[in-house]
Structure 1
Amino acid sequence: MATVTPGRTGRTAAKSSRSSTTAGSRPTKTDIAPTPTRSLRLWLQAVLDRPLTSYHLVLGSASILVALGLMMVLSASSVSAFMIYDDAYFYVKRQAMFLVMGVVGAIALVRMPHHVLRVLGWFGVALATLLLILTYTALGFESGGNRNWIDLGFTSIQPSEFAKLAMIIWGADVLARKDKLLDQPRHLLIPYLPVCGILILLVVFQGDAGTAVVMGSIMVGVLFVVGTPMRVLATLGFCAVGGVVALFVTSPVRMRRLAAFLDPTADLNGANDQANAGMWAIASGGWWGQGLGGSRQKWGGLPVAHSDFIFAVIGEELGLFGSLIVLALFLVLGYAGLRIASRSDDAFRRYAAAGVTIWFMVQALINLAVVLRLLPIAGVPLPLVSYGGSALIANLLALGVLLSCARHEPDARTLLASRTRSTKPRVSAVVGSRRKSA
């Protein structure tokens, strides 16, 4: 029979108790309080993982840009509108009307079925080509040195703005149909490259080099997203550079703009007038700006301040802080667009989202570079912000396409489908109860 020593057993138990207490009190990773940086990162990750985050990012950033643009159009154009039309609200009322039209069109595109949108791209390219050709007829007229407008009697339109969107939707459909054949150059480039080239050449012969560069960037950017070999992209890049050089060499106006860009002190009352006025406006804004409506350059120093150079007025009135807010909003919009393109499981929506995003980012970059004297004057408006009916409506329609692609991300599509299924029984119950009571 074994004997048990009580003292030893007690000491062993006490030791075990102390060991368990020590081990239990030792902090683990789960016991350590999260740092503010880690908490912020986890919260941001949780927000970005939500199914409709891309949709809300596009809608939120675009809505703020449009609202800011409407406000700045009023501020930048009030003086010239009163002097020309005796109505300080002339331009902003027209911009608001264009905004309503564009929002209605965008909502229609968001709800439009997939197959209808793809068919619409073919009609859009045909219509855009016809309208671009009409600019060379008696209906076309010149504005700002470019013959890129059509007079319809009751209003005028700029077909090249709508040609960008038509080229994106049609190109996305063509490339999506050939998705499994795009490793062959023949299927990759035909008919996408010739049709896009015709649209770009029609714009080039109008004299609108800035819009042609944007359209060329869209074309090359979509080909890059598709996975075009670098040797093909390099060839297209060399052709594009040669085309831009030819545009400058063959145009005395562009050569004067280039000379003025290279020498800011030359032709101060001519080619350098607008560029220098824009820089003066931005420089006088400082950190916080002169206050909304406090711009001095809009009193005649900055020509057409509410259009291509509206960012200069933003810098003058809202300062560096307001300018950085605008840049941040465009970065959010660009991030959301690329996120939609990368998450889409449908080739058409992937290419369409990429095309719209490239359009907005390239055009915004060119406009900002021109205002900051990093590029010669190109006559390209700031998307969603600058004054212009054709540009604003086309931008809003493109946003409608981008929002439609966001709603069809795999997770978003599943969530919206579940909401629809859960809503139908409720609606049926309500209808049934009403019928019984009747």
Structure 2
Amino acid sequence: MTATAPPRRRPAAASESPLGAAGDWLRSPVAPYYLILVSSAALVSIGLVMVLSASSVRSYVETGNSYGVFAAQLAFAGVGVMLGWLTSRLDPTWWQRLAVPGLLLALGLQALVLSPLGVGFQGNRNTIYVGGFSLQPAEFAKLALVVFGAAVLARKRAVIGHIAHALIPFVVPGALGLVGLVMAGRDLGTAMILVAIAGGMLFVAGLPVKWFGLVALAAAAGVAFLAMGSSNRMQRIETWLGDTCTTPQVEGCFQKVHAEYALADGGWWGVGLGASREKWSLLPEPHNDFILAIIGEELGLPGSLTVLALFLVLAYACFRVISASSDPFVRLGTAGVMLWILVQACLNIGSVIGMLPIIGVPLPLVSSGGSALIAALMGIGLLLSLARTVPGCRAALAGRRSVLRRTLAALPAGGRPRR
């Protein structure tokens, strides 16, 4: 009788995930935190580079300094990063305590737009000037609405099925108060974003679906009424529906046509960073609402898809936080910021590529604009604060800092490891 060798065992796989170590990391509790941090930092970095490129010609013509707009945007980014870091260090309990004061402050600032401090621009009255500084309160109203809504709806989760509890006080007076003041300044784009934030947060909170049909009909009727009541908005809609631009003086005509020219000129691979032709006083607002057109022209399809991919990464990270957390405030706050950034990005991108009428909202974290960038970075700070509450994330981050300290402690001043 001959002995048979035992069958060889296959070595255990290093990872059960089809993506290997990357898949394991994506399932780790720290992944949403780092994905939010990296994607937002990449968007801001791309935005700074493209603001420099898109604004250089106009800035030189107006001030004799090609770096004027870029320098201002860099300063706003610095302020936004500092405020974002501070907001990221706030515990969610502090966010809940700031919910009501934040909403009252947002309502007060938005009301100032209608005072002598407010100024109008291109048909909208959404800016206040104080001491030589300008501020768009509606940008910070988005953050205030998210925090207030998360705090209120988290407490009302047991009775959210009753429409009265769902509406008061989040929708009335909270959301409707902000939307009313914004619409008093004729800023339909920002009002649409606020409505989307409120509706999305109610959906995440568990409001029965039957109510959303009525709300959608009311919102559509309101937008149609406001559009038909404004010749400026109707001109933009007619330009969007038209195939050609026969009257360049019509509102939105130049933006629509030259944004399409920019994307067409960029083709697959772009004309090269800094080589845009449309920024030479052809495309209005090239560094603001239409910065994606310059990205497509200079960096081609890879550049445009990179921006879209970064927004998708940010959305995935937010989804991970929502699905991993059991805290209703964390889930609702994360959903609110995600809706804010993604809805605004969709409205901007749709306007640039011609799928929507020109609505006049900036591309979050990318477009030029101090108030929009600072408010968005504070929203990212809120996301980072909420992402740290994912089970296991805070301990993992603390452990990684300890490893870094031990590594640095092993290095003497000269840089060589101690023996």
1:71-93 per-residue CA deviation (whole Å, 9 max, x = no partner) reads 00000000000001111111011
User: Aligned equivalents of 2:298 and 2:245: distance in 1?
Assistant: 27
User: Aligned equivalents of 2:80 and 2:133: distance in 1?
Assistant: 16
Does structure 1 residue 393 correspond to structure 2 residue 383?
A: no
Alignment correspondent of 2:274: 293
Structure 1 unaligned regions, length at least 5: 1-12, 425-438
Map 1:353-372 onto structure 2 (within 5 A): 353-372=334-353
SS of corresponding position for 1:298: coil
Map 1:397-408 onto structure 2 (within 5 A): 397-408=378-389
1:9-56 per-residue CA deviation (whole Å, 9 max, x = no partner) reads xxxx13xx3xx34x726xx7x46999xx98752323211122211010
Map 1:44-123 onto structure 2 (within 5 A): 44-123=22-101
Alignment correspondent of 2:7: 24
Does structure 1 residue 283 correspond to structure 2 residue 283?
A: no
User: Aligned equivalents of 1:305 and 1:75: distance in 2?
Assistant: 9
User: Aligned equivalents of 1:189 and 1:118: distance in 2?
Assistant: 19
User: Aligned equivalents of 1:33 and 1:65: distance in 2?
Assistant: 36
Alignment root-mean-square deviation, CA: 2.3
SS of corresponding position for 1:297: coil
**Which amino acid counterpart does residue 303 of structure 1 have in structure 2?**
P
Does structure 1 residue 228 correspond to structure 2 residue 229?
A: no
Does structure 1 residue 146 correspond to structure 2 residue 127?
A: no
Q: Give the drift of 1:345.
A: 2.2
**Which amino acid counterpart does residue 275 of structure 2 have in structure 1?**
G
Identity over aligned pairs, percent: 43
Q: Give the drift of 1:180.
A: 2.4
Residues 302, 100 of structure 1: alpha-carbon distance in 2 compared, 3 angstrom cutoff? same
**Which amino acid counterpart does residue 113 of structure 2 have in structure 1?**
T
Does structure 1 residue 257 correspond to structure 2 residue 240?
A: no
TM-score by length of 1: 0.88
Question: Which has more helix, going by share of residues?
Answer: 1
User: Aligned equivalents of 1:129 and 1:183: distance in 2?
Assistant: 28
* Pairs aligned (count): 403
1:349-404 per-residue CA deviation (whole Å, 9 max, x = no partner) reads 11111100011111101100000000000001000000000000000000000000
Aligned partner of 1:217 among 192, 196, 210: 196
Residues 205, 295 of structure 1: alpha-carbon distance in 2 compared, 3 angstrom cutoff? same
User: Aligned equivalents of 1:75 and 1:385: distance in 2?
Assistant: 13
Structure 2 unaligned regions, length at least 5: 406-419
Does structure 1 residue 158 correspond to structure 2 residue 158?
A: no
**Which amino acid counterpart does residue 126 of structure 2 have in structure 1?**
N
Does structure 1 residue 350 correspond to structure 2 residue 331?
A: yes
Question: Which one is further off, 306-315 or 154-163?
Answer: 154-163
Alignment correspondent of 1:329: 310
Q: Give the drift of 1:421.
A: 9.7
1:128-149 per-residue CA deviation (whole Å, 9 max, x = no partner) reads 1111111111111101210111
**Which amino acid counterpart does residue 336 of structure 2 have in structure 1?**
G
**Which amino acid counterpart does residue 25 of structure 2 have in structure 1?**
V
Does structure 1 residue 134 correspond to structure 2 residue 112?
A: yes
Question: Which one is further off, 261-270 or 213-222?
Answer: 261-270
User: Aligned equivalents of 2:332 and 2:185: distance in 1?
Assistant: 28
User: Aligned equivalents of 1:32 and 1:400: distance in 2?
Assistant: 40
User: Aligned equivalents of 1:306 and 1:319: distance in 2?
Assistant: 17
Q: Is the 8 A contact 1:267 1:273 kept in 2?
A: no
Residues 80, 181 of structure 1: alpha-carbon distance in 2 compared, 3 angstrom cutoff? same
Q: Is the 8 A contact 1:61 1:332 kept in 2?
A: yes
Alignment correspondent of 2:153: 175
Q: Give the drift of 1:113.
A: 2.7
Q: Is the 8 A contact 2:50 2:295 kept in 1?
A: yes
Residues 419, 377 of structure 1: alpha-carbon distance in 2 compared, 3 angstrom cutoff? closer
TM-score by length of 2: 0.91
SS of corresponding position for 1:264: coil
Residues 85, 241 of structure 1: alpha-carbon distance in 2 compared, 3 angstrom cutoff? same
Q: Please identify the structure whose Cα radius of gyration is greater.
A: 1
User: Aligned equivalents of 2:40 and 2:190: distance in 1?
Assistant: 21
Alignment correspondent of 1:192: 170
User: Aligned equivalents of 2:12 and 2:25: distance in 1?
Assistant: 23
